[in-house]
Amino acid sequence: MTMVVDWHLARALLEWQVELGVTDTVLAEPVDRFARVEPPAAAAAVPQPGQVAAPPPMPQPQEIDTVAEARAAAAAAQDLPALKLALQGFAHCELRRGARNCVFADGNPQAHVMVIGEGPGAEEDRKGRPFVGASGQLLDQMFAAIGLSRRSEDPASALYITNTVPWRPPANREPSKHELAMLRPFLLRHIELVKPRLLVLVGNTACEALLNARGITKLRGTWAEAQALPAMPITHPAFLLRFPEAKREAWADLLEIKARLKSLG
């Protein structure tokens, strides 16, 4: 017959042993109190009554390679409409959050000359087209002086205009190096799809994006190479509006562009 030991009986037996003079518990095997004991493996803490269990650790978000994402999205675009959709759907650039429009391009995509500026300003952001403000009006006048227009249907006398970034930076600041690197794959794919005969790089930001160089006052007027194409850096029309005396050098650069186009046939 098995005796059932409840709490009251167990306490009575313990008190009886204490009255008999028992002071220590003797185990069936001897215990070496000086032996090194390895700590047990960490186990999940069990909350005690009245305690609130700690929430499990939050998983760390994986860092996204935004340049690789942009490169893949740009490479998948087989034509200009697809590239525009890919750019509009690119969610990793913070510039888009403060902009009204994705300013993609303007002009004749068959043009022999592709003009690349910095980024949209307030007027460009509002209208969704590059170079439409005061700087854009001066840019049109400059190229009209050598027989080129964004409205021309003849590729030999047409312009195709875009920017290094399609969204207006806050307060018209320059795009950061990170933003330029992130959006550069779209710009390179843009050039591949248009297939111009030469590039015109307007201002420091365009030179940084395609030539990895700055200092437009030193770069302007000298032919460089970008994406295996001849590239002419020129001063930004906004600079010419502030410093009209620089227009003489700008005119010399335009004549260089005209002569190079003629030599390319």
pLDDT in tens, 27-39: 667 767 677 766 6
Q: What is the pLDDT of residue 111?
A: 98
Query: What letter would DSSP give residue 228?
Result: T
What's the rounded Cα separation, in Å, for the pair 210 and 188?
9
pLDDT score recorded for residue 23: 72
CATH classification number, 66-263, choose in 1.10.1040.10, 3.40.470.10, 1.10.3720.10, 3.40.50.620: 3.40.470.10
Whether 42 has a pLDDT exceeding 60, the answer reads no
| Rounded Cα distance, 68 and 74, in Å | 10
Per-residue pLDDT band at 193 (split at 50, 70, 90): very high
Nearest to 130 by CA among 87, 162, 108: 162
What mean pLDDT is reported for the chain? 90
Cα dihedral 65, 70, 73, 79 in deg (nearest 10): -170
Q: Are 110 and 217 in contact (CB under 8 A)?
A: no
Distance CA 11, CA 248 (A): 107
What are the phi and psi torsion angles at 7 (to 5°)?
Answer: -65, -45
Ramachandran region of residue 224, left (φ > 0), alpha (ψ -120 to 50) or beta? beta
User: What mean pLDDT is predicted for residues 125-140?
Assistant: 96
Give the HSE-up count for residue 78: Cα atoms under 13 Å, Cβ half-sphere. 0
Percent above pLDDT 90 for the chain: 75
Give the CB-side neighbour count of residue 168, counting CA atoms within 13 A: 19
